[in-house]
Structure 1
Amino acid sequence: MRNVKLSKLWDQLHSSYWFIPAVMAVVATALAFTMLTLDRTGKAGIDYWWMYTGGADGARRREAACRQTSLLGSVAGSMISVAATAFSITIVALQLAASNFGPRLLRNFMQDTGNQVVLGTFISTFIYCLLVLRTIHGQGDGYEQFVPQLAVTVGTLLAIVSIGVLIYFIHHASTIIQASHVIGNVSSDLHKTIDRLFPEKFGYSKPQQQVTPSIPVNFEEEACPIRAIATGYLQAIDDQELINIACKYNLLIRLQTRPGKFIVKGSDLVIVFPGEVLNTKLVNEINDAFILGIERTEQQDVEFPIDQLVEIALRAISPGINDPFTAIRCIDRISAGLCHLVQRDFPSPYRCDRNKKLRIIAEGLLETIATIANYTNNSQYCKALRYHADMILQDSNQGLSQEQDRKDVQERYYAVIKSSDCNGAIKNWD
């Protein structure tokens, strides 16, 4: 498994609007100095018809004589104006997303690479033109005349590229706020999270029985809890770091929480055995393996994208919006995600070191697994399906006023429990 902390760092950078524009600004600065160096040394050796060959008065704005606007000055001024406009449109899109889809979807919009590249392109072009503009000198300026033809030509090319990026941004900004696009992105996050957390597939075959390692009989009596030293949502657990700590101190660690849970300072994170080795250093090392944040993420929390789809669906069927078709799309995406999930083999909660010695006991990753009968023959999954089907039938009998609607729900209910894959397992519980 890749380094959890590095993955978390990249997730933070990818969710910011400053990282990619800052990198592109640095690249633009390096490009400007490179082009200016080539112009000063004359090593470029390029003289084509499309290169800029005008004098200094045309290469920059001269405020003294005719107050003409230079080429680079025009490009720089227009780029910063367009960047401000693009930023304003982005903020409006974020406000619209927060009101229609929920504030928890803002993070998905913040992660949109297209918007970040657009802002970075405009800002980079502005910085490039500004750095080149300050080096241009004409006769009478008190300096030796210098017109960087290659650098000005590159600035012109960047302006043309920026126009293309602006056209892309107009299309992109109108696309990312569409409900189908938002739902599709969240669904994609759900499938990626499932692939990352549950890489083993068992298809339609019966999963292998997992062997439970022996736990010391005096575990409960001699184990001691290690409490959290901070408050926040548990975004990820560095399980490899926990294994290393357990081997270093010869410990057995039982997790008391899982990613996605809200951790209050002073609450139990883990229970360590034997408890006699507990000290301040060990407490700090254990806490460092638990990555907390101000919000939930999908890094190790497979329920988070499901909750996002549920939130979109609930807002869609609210009286203020009344959009049942968006809710249906969310249900379809949740069904596809659950079908994907039930085809994966869930890892054992017991983690051993290289010597096959039990080191970590992890809490189950999912408290309730709602599944689709046609995609699994696992008896536990089928039991969960029957449980939720019973609740839906009971609620429909109490909440639906029309007899025909209740009959429709009952027909679907019987179709579910008579599914060929789960029917035999369900009969065993009746």
Structure 2
Amino acid sequence: MDMIRPLHTWERQRTSYWFVPALMLAAGIGLAAGMLAIDRNSHLGPVLIPWFTAGGEEGARMLLSSVAGAVIIVAGVTFSITMLTLTQASSQFGPRMLRNFMRDAGNQAVLGTLVATFAYSLLVRRSIGGDRQEQVPHLAVAVALLLALARMAALIFYIHNVSSSIQAPLVAADVWDDLDSAIRRMYPEGLGHERPPSRPGGSASRLPEAFDRESIAVTSAGTGYLQLVDVHRLMEVATSNDLRLKLLCRPGHFITRGNALLLAWPPDAVTVEVIGRLRKTFVLGPQRTPEQDVEFAVRQLVEIAVRALSPGTNDPFTAATCVDWLGDALCRIAEGGLHSPRRHDDAGMLRVVADVSDFAGVVDAFDQIRQYGRDSVAVTVRLLEAIATVAGHLKAESQRNPLRRQAETIAHDASEALDSEKDRADVVDRYERAIAALDAGPDPKANALARHRAGKEDAARVRPARSVGSATGERPVRRSQSHRGAG
């Protein structure tokens, strides 16, 4: 069953502040109607809660009025705290992080509790009238009291949740959750078969020679960021119409009206109806989302790190935390998070060649952190340690070169930016450990031993001068016997 579009719709609703409170408001109205019906058809209120009936009709009205009035006051305070938190998050972590705060289910539930309690109290109070005490809906009033107590508990939780949500380490961990989910859903996983299930003729597992010359470009009818591709429907259209497709964009790319989305072959099968069906498999929106866009979640972590390294903030520890989470994401991607762009149907026929992120592109996320943190020993050391950790999870030789180039660039920039000889020696130490880990291969035991051996050899001898990677051409660095950690 194709669940991509329902999941996309659900993602849009849960990142809004109105959806959950609206549902809870409807639940409050339904609860009021249900409790009033029970009170009208039974006389259990005075029997079950005799201590609550002493106030009579006037007491019930006063209680419900007090509950409704208090809820309005608390709702105003909650709204003010929410706006203050969103403003703080936008300035500290970046405006793209507002989505993560708005989708917090706990905060939405608290707001929903307030509006549901207010609606419930008003409806129950309106039903109270007449001169006879038995007309007082005792059970409904008792439930209003319970809702008021629940509202106080929700307020305490809300204050705790808001205080926790603006802590930088927890924000970085929350972004990593998005990144982890995007890796597990990464496009084009689930789109046909990565390898042909059978071994058909050679022409069936590759694009025709005339593909680039004869294919028809399917252009976009709208403008916006490509949020997701309905991969199952795309494969269905390609199979049912015997098409070969080559995607020219991937989730996260900005698409303008008239831009080519994909190429389709053979041209005689690309009818107006087929073009319309193919266009519907692409979902555009005003902003990027992490559902199929791994690079978006990566850039969120990078943005937090870069803002932490700005002169106005000067928080290298938050940047180092983001590097830790990025390192873990690279480990997951290196172990198989990225998939082949070639997709085949059940008969082994190549149907789709997708545009996918490659490992080198994700590694390039370190560039901005390196550029802004080149004069921070803690961040530079943590970057090199992350590379050494990722080296133990590599599965292909092609993944090793981007990390090696990144390590050399990090060490070169640090040798130019750092004035302290001891700081440069610390960077050289971590650089050598990272290179040793990359040379050791994917075996975790060999990787750990190589890093450990590099550290022991470095501490056991003093060299008069040392260049950080002769190929990078940086200035000589004098070694010292002591090494400082990343902090």
Q: TM-score, normalised by structure 1?
A: 0.88
Instruction: Give the equivalent residue in structure 2 for 1:66.
Output: none
CA spacing shift, 1:309–1:159, aligned 2, 3 Å: same
Question: Is it true that 1:379 corresponds to 2:380 in the alignment?
Answer: no
| Structure 1 residue 230, shift from structure 2 partner | 0.8
Q: Distance in 2 between matches of 1:157 and 1:34?
A: 16
Structure 1: any 5+ residue segments left out of the alignment? 61-69, 201-207, 425-430
Instruction: Give the equivalent residue in structure 2 for 1:195.
Output: 184
Of residues 394, 411, 422, the one that matches 2:429 is 411
CA spacing shift, 1:43–1:350, aligned 2, 3 Å: farther
Whether the aligned pair in 2 keeps the contact of 1:253 and 1:360 (CA below 8 Å) is: yes
Whether the aligned pair in 2 keeps the contact of 1:57 and 1:138 (CA below 8 Å) is: no
Aligned residues: 406
| Structure 1 residue 43, shift from structure 2 partner | 6.5
Write the mapping of 1:150-169 to structure 2, written as runs, cut at 5 A: 150-169=139-158
Instruction: Give the equivalent residue in structure 2 for 1:101.
Output: 93
Cα deviations across residues 193-234 of structure 1 (Å, max 9, x unaligned)?
A: 22232899xxxxxxx999992221111111011111111111
Instruction: Give the equivalent residue in structure 2 for 1:58.
Output: 59
Whether the aligned pair in 1 keeps the contact of 2:196 and 2:347 (CA below 8 Å) is: no
RMSD (Å), alpha carbons:
2.6
Question: Is it true that 1:304 corresponds to 2:296 in the alignment?
Answer: yes
Whether the aligned pair in 2 keeps the contact of 1:138 and 1:145 (CA below 8 Å) is: no
Cα deviations across residues 378-415 of structure 1 (Å, max 9, x unaligned)?
A: 20111121121222233233333444433332332222
Instruction: Give the equivalent residue in structure 2 for 1:181.
Output: 170
| Structure 1 residue 44, shift from structure 2 partner | 4.8
Q: Distance in 1 between matches of 2:264 and 2:418?
A: 51
Counterpart residue type for residue 417 of structure 1: I
Whether the aligned pair in 2 keeps the contact of 1:100 and 1:315 (CA below 8 Å) is: yes
Question: Is it true that 1:72 corresponds to 2:64 in the alignment?
Answer: yes
Secondary structure of 1:225's counterpart equals: strand
Write the mapping of 1:23-422 to structure 2, written as runs, cut at 5 A: 23-42=23-42, 44=44, 47-49=47-49, 52-53=52-53, 54-60=55-61, 70-139=62-131, 146-197=135-186, 213-344=205-336, 346-366=338-358, 368-370=361-363, 372-419=390-437, 420-421=440-441
Whether the aligned pair in 2 keeps the contact of 1:253 and 1:270 (CA below 8 Å) is: yes
Whether the aligned pair in 2 keeps the contact of 1:242 and 1:286 (CA below 8 Å) is: yes
CA spacing shift, 1:384–1:422, aligned 2, 3 Å: farther
Cα deviations across residues 297-329 of structure 1 (Å, max 9, x unaligned)?
A: 110011112111110111111111111111111
Which structure has more relative contact order (CA 8 Å, sep 6+)? It is 1
Whether the aligned pair in 2 keeps the contact of 1:56 and 1:147 (CA below 8 Å) is: yes
Counterpart residue type for residue 361 of structure 2: T
Q: More displaced, 356-365 or 99-108?
A: 356-365
Q: Distance in 1 between matches of 2:140 and 2:337?
A: 58
Whether the aligned pair in 2 keeps the contact of 1:14 and 1:111 (CA below 8 Å) is: yes
Secondary structure of 2:47's counterpart equals: coil
Q: Determine which structure has the larger helix proportion and give its number.
A: 2
Q: Distance in 2 between matches of 1:422 and 1:355?
A: 35
CA spacing shift, 1:38–1:394, aligned 2, 3 Å: same
